Amino acid sequence: MLSLAGRDLHIRGSAVHDVQRRVASSRIASVAALPGRMYLVGRHNAAELAKSARWLARSREHTNFTYDLTPLNREHLAWFIAEVTARSVGEIRAYFEEVESDRGLHEHLRRAIKASDRQRLADRDVRFGRRIGWYALVRALRPAHIVETGTDKGLGTCVLAAAVRRNGAGRVTTIDVNPCSGYLISGRYGAVVNRHIGDSIDVLGQLEVVDVFLHDSLHTAGYEHAELETVGPRLTEKAMVLSDNAHASGTLSDWAEETRRRFLFFGEQPRDHWYPGGGIGVAWSRSS
């Protein structure tokens, strides 16, 4: 049985709930709710502002931002890659650990950034974000030829090259129209990479066989579609097609439907970063 104090609290609680119900169903409901709504928005914006201020103070990057994923988002990425590659999630988690703890790769990237004349626009604290998914996919599938459009500084290319080196076989072709791109690609990682400076459509038209294709160049629907149309006839039967623009465009999913492929998308959740994140779109053959 309730004590007298307990009954009093119960009566007061019921009275409060009754008032809340009356207000919620009245004409002033939206006005009464406004302070609470303003508090929620203000709390969210304050947290985002704090992240932005920390980034402005600590980071040098101005494009192609790098960050870690939240622990839960990293786990979701492991399940995503496991589903796409038909491998166990345990195997994919092991590949994540492998690349994240690769001291040789981390040291190479730090040295290359430090030696570059663009070091003031890059962070030396190397973080891979969704690129650990690229790495795990290559480790799981062991493709002979990976093609990437949009080299930029070459961080993603080095991650792909590290996976190829671990596999013991394979090549990475990376394409960028900017002659200053790819300054991180050298040494043992550059040894498994073919760099092309030029229009990606022209270069793709000269290739023969592609096992993994990654669109990360000009992020317009028209150009992405042109790349897919060009690389399509060169894809192997079990080829994987990835888009680094699938969070902003339906081009890859539309193309997958047109060519009777499967499609899945993973959305990033960066940890302690103002940028909302990109993602990985993957299209692959229904027969694989």
Place of tokens 């969070």: 247
Tell me: the pLDDT tens digits for 36-61? 778 877 888 888 888 888 888 888 88
Predicted local distance difference test score (pLDDT) of residue 50: 85
Angstrom distance (rounded) from CA 288 to CA 285? 6
Q: In what order do the strands lie in the sheet with 235-243?
A: 193-197, 171-176, 145-149, 210-215, 235-243, 279-285, 261-267
Predicted local distance difference test score (pLDDT) of residue 2: 45
- Rg of the chain over all Cα atoms, to the nearest angstrom: 24
Domain spans in the chain, listed from the N-terminal domain onward: 33-59, 63-285
Predicted local distance difference test score (pLDDT) of residue 21: 73
Q: Model-level pTM? A: 0.89
Apex 265 CA angle, 262 and 266, nearest 5: 145
Flag residues of the chain having pLDDT under 70. 1-16, 19-20, 23-24, 29, 288
| φ, ψ (nearest 5 deg) of residue 265 | -135, 140
Predicted local distance difference test score (pLDDT) of residue 122: 87
Alpha carbons within 13 angstroms on the beta-carbon side of residue 167 total: 24
Place of tokens 């119960």: 10
| Class of the domain covering 63-285 | alpha beta
Would you tell me how many other CB atoms lie within 10 Å of the CB of residue 108?
22
Angstrom distance (rounded) from CA 162 to CA 113? 17
Place of tokens 């072709």: 173
Predicted local distance difference test score (pLDDT) of residue 14: 60
Predicted local distance difference test score (pLDDT) of residue 100: 97
Cα of first residue to Cα of last residue in the chain, in angstroms, is 65
Angstrom distance (rounded) from CA 46 to CA 167? 45
The helix (H) or strand (E) run that includes residue 81 is helix 71-85
* Partners of residue 235 on adjacent β-strands: 210
At position 73, the amino acid (one-letter code) is N
Q: Which residues touch 97 (CB under 8 Å, ≥6 apart)?
A: none
